[in-house]
Amino acid sequence: HTEEELARSSHSNPGKSLVNGIKSNPASNSPKSSLSVPTGPPVYVDLAYIPNHCSGKNTDPEFFKRVRASYYVVSGNDAANGEPSRTVLDALLEGKSQWGENLQVTLIPTHDTEVTREWYQQTHEKQQELNIMVLASSSTVVMQDESFPACKIEF
């Protein structure tokens, strides 16, 4: 958009802007606080990838209340950008505690990070209480000149 187009759009819709395609109040400090999540029943899936490499920018307890997965994949491996986020891992505990049913959940980190290790150790009792298992990488895949840890998932 040119500056002129942006100026025109703000005049035609004063006090509002778009955040992820949804109208919001720019005076709000947090985009999450301005987004309205439609009410409805939770969604049950076998496997869910925690958005944005498990960054706290896009995922909160509401995600885990609404998206109920047997397996959650945590792919973050960038401590400088807060990935994975301890806040998101704590949000899993908070969201799962609201399910009202004790379904087994498996958390699959794709990288061994300090944040994940500390969270695992500090919240292990709560994880057991909520029937959450953290699956460690147990295999190594070798492809040409590269090898990396992997987990086998069966449904």
The pair of three-digit structure tokens given for residue 24, joined into one six-digit string: 């919001």
Q: Percentages helix, strand, coil for the chain, rounded to the nearest 5?
A: 35, 25, 40
Please tell me the total count of domains within the chain: 1
pLDDT tens string 52-96: 767 778 788 999 999 999 999 988 777 777 668 899 999 999 999
Instruction: Tell me the pLDDT band of 122, cut-offs 50, 70 and 90.
Output: very high
Q: Is residue 30 part of a domain?
A: no
Q: What domain range includes position 120? A: 43-149
134: in domain: yes
Say what the pTM is.
0.66
Mean pLDDT across 130-151: 80
Determine, yes or no, domain membership for 138: yes
Q: Residue 11: inside a domain, yes or no?
A: no
Q: Band of the pLDDT at 138, cuts 50, 70, 90?
A: low
Dig out the tokens for 19 from the structure: 């955040």
- Is residue 145 a part of any domain in this protein? yes
**pLDDT-derived band at 125, boundaries 50, 70, 90:** very high
% of the chain surpassing 70 pLDDT: 66
Q: Give domain status of residue 51, yes or no.
A: yes
